[in-house]
Structure 1
Amino acid sequence: MARAADGADGGADRVRRVAAFGRRHGVGARVERCSGDAGAVLRAFVAAEDCAGRAKYRNFRTDGLSGVRVDYVCSSRVLNEGKKESALTVVTPRGPVVLHLGGLDSEEHEEMLPAFELAQETLHTT
């Protein structure tokens, strides 16, 4: 169970683990430096997506949490077109959380978007 393993410095330990994962995928240094800022975490996440373009960021607040959401288009060489994607980030006392919504294509993304928006509206910490 992650909670038991976190110890007194659980948030910092989790950020180190996320940063280590990110370094293996080319974004570790950016995530480590911006771990306390939802906007910086989200910008690092989007920057790691080689295909991301036309990103539109906006702040939101829900149940005491402040966050940042981005909607962007991911260019696909396979489909030869762009597909919509969304992500949001909140920073909790235990570290940043990124929720991403992709999909096979923009149509599937649009069909799943209501669930993503419900998740955004009902986010809270326990």
Structure 2
Amino acid sequence: MPERARPIRTALPAALVAAAGLLLTACGTTPEPAAPARPETAKSESAKPETVKAAATLGGPGSACALPVSFSVAEDWKPEAVKNPEDPEFAALTRQGPVTVRCEVDAKPSGNIGYLRVWTAPKGPARTALEGFVTAEKGSSAVAYRETKAGALPATEVTYTVDGEEKRAFAVSTPKGTVIVHLGGLDTDEHRAMLPAYELAKSTVKAL
């Protein structure tokens, strides 16, 4: 029987491959540079969360608002107690579901358009009060709850949207009642810009 033909080797000598590379470069084609190693690592190291400086403590003795909790207020945010929140004439503005607004912390002096509002309800489960608060806000959708911490206290947090605008709040229960801290803004961009101030408040909550 005739001997089976052996396959022809197609690999080129190293010298010929190098010469071909030089020829391509001489003709104006530059080899692409090698991709940097592990770009995702460099990205994660450079992406640091924004922080804000605490300027005052709200809720304690001598502060602008008397509350069942205290927390740190971001620099240039201005707190002010809500006057006559129990007045039934202004219930449409001062009540939302089971809670009543007690304090508003204005972000405008810091350059943002928005606020932190502090609401209170009688003593009870934090999640129940928070669910009633969100349900009472017309147009709320994409509602998501999660259990978390506010300072050292167990808390429930919610994120949701109203007419496409992002909103969020957290609630804690204390011996003096339930407290909801809500972040509101002109639009979603303002909301996201103010998140560091919201996170500062949440991370520093203490029951009084």
TM-score after normalising by structure 2: 0.43
Query: Which structure features the higher share of helix residues?
Result: 1
Identity %: 35
Given the superposition, is the C-alpha separation of residues 54 and 123 from structure 1 closer, same or farther in structure 2, using an over 3 Å criterion?
same
CA-to-aligned-CA distance 1:70-114 (integer Å, 9 cap, x gap): 011111xxxxxx110111110111001110101000000000011
1:88 corresponds in structure 2 to 170
Gapped runs of 5+ residues in structure 2?
1-67, 69-84, 100-119
Cα-Cα RMSD: 2.8
1:119 corresponds in structure 2 to 201
- CA-CA distance at 1:63 after TM superposition: 4.0
Gapped runs of 5+ residues in structure 1?
1-10, 12-17, 76-81
CA-to-aligned-CA distance 1:32-70 (integer Å, 9 cap, x gap): 7x8411111000000110021101111112443111010
Distance 2:195 2:174 in 1: 23
Aligned length: 101
Q: Does 1:39 align with 2:127?
A: yes
Instruction: Indicate if the aligned counterparts of 2:98 and 2:132 stay in contact, CA closer than 8 A.
Output: no
TM-score after normalising by structure 1: 0.68
Instruction: Indicate if the aligned counterparts of 1:20 and 1:28 stay in contact, CA closer than 8 A.
Output: no
1:101 corresponds in structure 2 to 183
1:64 corresponds in structure 2 to 152
Given the superposition, is the C-alpha separation of residues 96 and 39 from structure 1 closer, same or farther in structure 2, using an over 3 Å criterion?
same
Distance 1:106 1:54 in 2: 14
